[in-house]
Structure formats: C-alpha cells, structure tokens
Amino acid sequence: FMWEISFEIREGMFSAHIIRPVSYMHFILSRNLAWRVVRSLIFLPFFLAILYFYLGAVEGKSVYLGWELWASVLLGHLVSVVFVTALAMIALFTQEAQSIFELYYFPMLFLSGQLFPIALLPDWVRGLAVVFPFYYTTGVPTEIMVGRLAGPAAWQAMGIQVVWIGVSYVLFRVLSAKGTRHYAGVGM
C-alpha cells in the first residue's frame, strides 16, 4: 500500500490527513486492519477447502499453532505495515517514488522467505536475512509454525520483531516530520 500512500501524497489527498486529529500511523493501521479482516474472510473458505483436500499429505507433520505463532504473525504484520509506511514517507521528498518502492520488493521476496524457505538459502543469504526486517515479516512466523524456531530462539526472534517495529516507527516519525515541511499538496 505504499503506492496508495504515494498517490495520496502526489495528488494532494495527504493534506486531509495532516489536519485530522488522528495520527496518520493510526489511520494506516486501522485501514490496514480492516483490509486484512475482509481479505481473511474471503480467503478462509479457500483455505478450509485446501486443508480438507490435502490433509492426508500433511498428516504426521508437526505444525505448531501455539501462542508464539500467533504473536509472531501479529508482530510480523506490524513490522511489515510500519516499515512500508515509513518507506512511503519518501514520497514526501520526491515527486516520483514508485521506482524506489520497486527496489523494496526484490530483497523482500528473497529475504522474507516468501519465494524460498530461508533454511534452503546459502549461509551468507541467511546471515543477510536476519539483518533486514523482511525475514521478520513472514520468515519468523513460518519457522515457528514448522518448529525450526522454538522456546528461547522464538522469543528472541519475536523480540527482534518488536525492535524492528520500534525502529520503523521512529523512521516513520522522522521522515514524516521532515517530509511534511517539504509537502506542497500540489495535486489538489
């Protein structure tokens, strides 16, 4: 949704957010939560059908569905939303941020575990993955679910997720404060 934020900034719609009494981050989190709930409700029947048809293939496999998994999924989602919102604030400084956003997706696909499990990647890529926030969006919850991260290792990974949320939020605050001074609202 960084493209949506960039569009709102470029077209001057961001001006309405500046004068509202609700912080922009709260607005983004609320909007994203509503989108996730609707998306999950649409996806749920398909997930249940796939689970029903492939239950025999996953029988006997250990899948952990405890509180660490769900906490990590929530934290991973927050890492993603807050980081992308911070990145989207670059649009306040430049007229066209789309190319910068395109650069986000290449490392995100590889270092998050969305294309390949992190465990299958070479050691140097795994070492690189844990440095960036991408791994903490989907890689950590996946590894907790399949049992690669458990106990203290899972808690440490969730702690790093919290750190990335904090770092991304600070980055958002800095970029939005400085960028708002440059913002002209020319699309209005």
pLDDT of residue 186: 66
pLDDT of residue 59: 66
Q: What is the mean pLDDT of the chain?
A: 85
- 28-55: string of b/e by CB count within 10 Å (b at 16+)? bbeebeeeeeeeeeeeeeeeeeeeeeee
Percent of the chain with pLDDT over 70: 95
